[in-house]
Amino acid sequence: LRDPPSTNSASAPATPARITPKAFSSVSTFEAGPSAKKAPTTPTTPVPAPQVPVEDVPPKSDPRYDGLKDQALINALHDAVSKHKDLGYNQARKIIFTTLDNHDGKVKCVYTGKEVTTNKIPSSNVMNTEHTWPQSKGATGAAKADLHHLFPTDSKANSIRGNWPFGTVKNVKWQENGAKFGTDEKGRTVFEPPDEHKGNVARALFYFSTVYNKHIPADDEAVLKQWNQLDKVDATEVARNDAIETYQQNRNPFVDDASLADRIADF
């Protein structure tokens, strides 16, 4: 969602007690960011690079989760990774745009592939910070600044996604670079990321659900588990997980071992 004025927040919840909140709403709420003082530059769409096969990265098994499944596994994962450093939202955005997702001075939108050249947080009219788990659905407090579910996105794509759930689009209303917005086969309004980001979205949401005790609706979970299989963990995702650990002192265990998601019947 678009970036509102930032505030530092409390640390992540430390108790493994699980509460089942309301499921994702189908109501779209776009959160407007501050207007820029200067006219923004337009993101550029790069010429597609030659397609190079991406090798899957072997999972890293963790003995702490051996033999566990469902709620017992959720509790163990929560205990292992929920306690982390709260960076504050401004610092989290600065990290994203200057180091974490900045490669040779350029930051790429995970949805459209558009790039901006920057060494600081850009105008929110150009590129925003996507909360994969929307702020209006519970990404508040420490969760608002948790890098494991934050990604850079072109402002238009960020607004189009809003807080709609992820899903497979059947009737397309908007699309770019493989990202789509429209309705699924059940008529639900959903947003679909490009194939190369589908697994990243799934693993980010599995992490968020586990750490912050948030329920994922059954329809959403079924699609996310398919995406977790379709788009395997690659070296880039592992490197990002490693980098986030240096800032937050915690990891996304579903990136380390994507098969953990298949051992949880109901997030």
Question: Is residue 44 included in any domain, yes or no?
Answer: no
Question: Is residue 102 included in any domain, yes or no?
Answer: yes
* pLDDT above 80: residue 169: yes
pLDDT value at residue 1: 54
CA 233, CA 258: separation in Å to the nearest integer? 7
Question: Is residue 138 included in any domain, yes or no?
Answer: yes
pLDDT value at residue 61: 84
CA 74, CA 106: separation in Å to the nearest integer? 37
Please give the structure tokens belonging to residue 9.
Answer: 């927040």
The model's pLDDT over 122-166, given as tens digits with 9 standing for 90+, comes to 999 999 999 999 999 999 999 999 999 999 999 999 999 999 999
- Residue 247's domain comprises 63-263
Please give the structure tokens belonging to residue 169.
Answer: 């689009």
Dihedral sign from CA coordinates of 159, 163, 168, 169: negative
Question: Is residue 12 included in any domain, yes or no?
Answer: no
Question: Is residue 46 included in any domain, yes or no?
Answer: no
Question: Is residue 9 included in any domain, yes or no?
Answer: no
pTM score over 0.85: no
Confidence of residue 55 (pLDDT cuts 50, 70, 90): low
Please give the structure tokens belonging to residue 148.
Answer: 């494991």
Question: Is residue 189 included in any domain, yes or no?
Answer: yes
CB 162 within 8 A of CB 1: yes
Helices (H), the chain: 70-81, 89-95, 155-161, 195-212, 218-230, 235-248, 253-256
Question: Is residue 34 included in any domain, yes or no?
Answer: no
* pLDDT above 60: residue 8: no
Q: What are residue 116's DSSP bridge partners?
A: 107
Give the CA-trace dihedral at 97, 220, 69, 261, to 10 degrees: -40
Confidence of residue 43 (pLDDT cuts 50, 70, 90): low
30 Cβ contact partners less than 8 Å away, ≥ 6 residues apart: 1, 2, 159, 162, 163
The model's pLDDT over 87-123, given as tens digits with 9 standing for 90+, comes to 999 999 999 999 999 999 999 999 999 999 999 999 9
Report the domain count for the chain: 1
Mean pLDDT of 247-267: 97
